Amino acid sequence: MTSVLAVASEVIPLVKTGGLADVAGALPGALAPHGVAVRTLLPGYPAVMAALIDGAVVARFDDLFGGPARILAATARGLDLLVLDAPHLYARDGGLYAGPDGSDWADNAFRFAALGYAAAEIGRGAASLPAPQIVHLHDWQAGLAGAYLAYGPGPRPKTVATIHNMAFQGWFPESMREALRLPPEAMAIEGVEYFGGVGFLKAALQFADHITTVSPTYACEILQPDAGLGLDGLLRARAADVSGILNGIDTNVWNPEADSALPAPFSAANLEGREASRRALAQSFGLDLGDGPLFGVVSRLSSQKGLDLLAEAAPTLLESGGSLALIGSGEAWLEDRFRALAEANPGRIGAFIGYDERRAHLLQAGADAVLVPSRFEPCGLTQLCALRYGAVPVVARVGGLADTVIDANPAALAAGVATGLQFPSGDQAALEAALRRVAALHAEPETWRRIQRNGMRSDVSWNASAAVYADLYRRLAGPV
């Protein structure tokens, strides 16, 4: 068995704001059959503390950035957890990263430095647990662990850093360096220094033995300034240690043959059952079903996701006979935009502002096509759910979207391998052309069904990628 400590700031089914939680929650189970035992360290937010079944104290800190703390080894919802119980940092109402007013918690640097500090202590064997062979850091929130391991006493486990989204980097002013328990020499280009301050993601990428991101195409994109967002230089220097490993989805949770959120089961071999979901979806969004395609969107509403382009392209969607059901929440101006579109187009556009897991399942099962017009997308999970549920993904050709959907171009159609549609990202005219292509393909039932079936038969599970992570861990851990 290879032993891994995963460090993440959100993990399903306990706490989630986005795709990071899906991945951190699903990977341990997917890795187990590959001989990898994962324990996951996460902050003791109120929702996490409330879910703990048992809890043995494996480490105590008299003062962890402003108050006492302990690490509890526990199980919850089938996960093997290490929970950082630090009430002064986590026991509060509000979001994981922001307070009730929507602005970031003022002490986020300490909240996540503490997570990294605890990870480093466990990593070097200072807790009453066997030290893991590998410490796997997810995103900036875990990043400072790399620095604490590098500057602290040995022994040092091997480390992997995974980038789920380069847009969130965790930057804090240099004046915090000492309070963050980083030595003066850390403020150097080969340390944690980043644009004159302390960079948490920078620290992860600087010190990790290996860097992964969540698709091969995004792994290339982040070597360039547009997607690298300031860290591309470091990544280019470390390019030999950077790889892309695609995310998967939990195919037991996402299984159209046994999903209690759907009115009837269906499969690639029996697509007829899908019609009941299509009708139920239209009904719940107040949409009139015509002959045109029923488009769906399930997304955080942020500029990353390119949904402002979709709002602009709404007239084209409607002119080509389509209708739209959207589930999303996020930036207020985008929420308002889709609310207004729904009000102006009753029966044709419906918007549910918020998030509801069962509703998302019904949308994937009932939509003809699911739109993902992202400006950048490290991997993307919604298009994988769409493939599995026979909703044809219509995606921007970036990051993991480019790696997981086969565009219905003439060559792919002739070879019978198309699974969706792609279009150039960040371009409203290209999105509009894609909407028209969808309408044309949807009008050819046989071609459309072929695309749906191909998608449903593509492997979107964790199987292949879990094997790649397991090989990476074993290579880093070396012979036992």
Of 9, 206, 382, 425, the residue at the interface with ligand ADQ (CB under 6 A) is 382
Token duo for residue 467: 């094997």
Beta bridge partners of 57: 72
Provide the minimum distance between the beta carbon of 288 and ligand ADQ in the complex, in angstroms, as a whole number. Answer: 25
Span interacting with ligand ADQ, options 14-22, 57-65, 282-290, 317-325, rule CB under 6 A: 14-22
Q: Using CA atoms, how far apart are residues 241 and 206, in angstroms rounded to an integer?
A: 11
How many residues of this chain interact with ligand ADQ, rule: CB under 6 A? 23
CB of 20 to ligand ADQ, least distance (A): 5
Q: What are the backbone dihedrals phi and psi of residue 118, each rounded to the nearest 5 degrees, phi first?
A: -65, -40
Q: Which is nearer to ligand ADQ, 95 or 125 (CB)?
A: 95
Q: Is residue 360 part of the contact set for ligand ADQ (CB under 6 A)?
A: yes
Question: Any contact of residue 364 with ligand ADQ (CB under 6 A)?
Answer: no
Tally the residues of the chain: 480
From the list 243, 329, 345, 447, which residue makes contact with ligand ADQ (rule: CB under 6 A)? 329
Single out the residue of 380, 390, 393, 420 in contact with ligand ADQ (rule: CB under 6 A).
Answer: 380
Binding mask of the shown chain, residues 62 to 101, with x at each position contacting ligand ADQ by CB under 6 A:
----------------------------------------
Written as one letter, the residue type at 244 is G
Three state DSSP letters for the chain: CEEEEEECCCECCCECCCHHHHHHHHHHHHHHHHCEEEEEEEECCHHHHHHCCCCEEEEEECCCCCCCEEEEEEEECCEEEEEEECHHHHCCCCCCCECCCCCECCCHHHHHHHHHHHHHHHHCCCCCCCCCCEEEEEHHHHHHHHHHHHHCCCCCCEEEEEECCCCCCCEEEHHHCCCCCCCHHHCCCCCCEECCEEEHHHHHHHHCCEEEECCHHHHHHCCCHHHHCCCHHHHHHCHHHEEECCCCCCCCCCCCCCCCCCCCCCCCCCHHHHHHHHHHHHHHCCCCCCCCCEEEEEEEECHHHCHHHHHHHHHHHHHCCCEEEEEEEECHHHHHHHHHHHHHCCCCEEEEECCCHHHHHHHHHHCCEEEECCCCCCCCCHHHHHHHCCCEEEEECCHHHHHHCCECCHHHHHHCCCCEEEECCCCHHHHHHHHHHHHHHHCCHHHHHHHHHHHHHCCCCCHHHHHHHHHHHHHHHCCC
- What's the closest the beta carbon of residue 332 comes to ligand ADQ, in angstroms? 13
CB of 321 to ligand ADQ, least distance (A): 26
Tokens 């995004």 map to which residue? Answer: 218
Of residues 234, 362, 379, 470, which one binds ligand ADQ by CB under 6 A?
A: 379
What would the x/- binding string for ligand ADQ be over residues 397 to 416, using CB under 6 A? Answer: ---x----------------
Q: At its nearest, how many Å lie between ligand ADQ and the CB of residue 246?
A: 9
d(CA 88, CA 106): 13
- Residue 16 annotated in ligand binding: yes
Q: Does 164 bind ligand ADQ (CB under 6 A)?
A: yes
Tell me: does residue 6 bind ligand ADQ (CB under 6 A): no
From the CB of 206, what's the least distance to ligand ADQ, in Å? 21
Give the interface segment with ligand ADQ, choosing from 40-48, 76-84, 105-113, 373-381 (CB under 6 A).
373-381
Range in contact with ligand ADQ (rule: CB under 6 A) among 219-227, 374-382, 387-395, 428-436: 374-382
x-marked contacts with ligand ADQ along 282-321 as a string, rule CB under 6 A = ----------------xxx---------------------
User: Closer CB to ligand ADQ, residue 127 or residue 402?
Assistant: 402
Interacting residue with ligand ADQ among 306, 378, 393, 455 (CB under 6 A): 378
328 touches ligand ADQ by CB under 6 A: yes
Q: Is 244 in the site for ligand ADQ (CB under 6 A)?
A: no
Choices 75-83, 107-115, 174-182, 372-380 (CB under 6 A): range interacting with ligand ADQ = 372-380
Minimum Å gap between C-beta 302 and ligand ADQ is 8
The tokens describing 290, both together, are 């015509």
- In single-letter form, the type of residue at position 25 comes to G
> What is the closest distance, in whole angstroms, from the C-beta atom of residue 435 to ligand ADQ in the complex?
20
- Judged by CB, which is closer to ligand ADQ: 343, or 357? 357
Angle of CA points 314, 315, 316, to nearest 5° = 90
Enumerate residues 207-226 that contact ligand ADQ by CB under 6 A. 214
Residues 16-35 interacting with ligand ADQ (rule: CB under 6 A): 18-20, 22-23
Q: Binding site: which residues? A: 16
Residues that bind ligand ADQ (CB under 6 A): 18-20, 22-23, 164-165, 214, 247, 298-300, 328-329, 355, 360, 377-382, 400
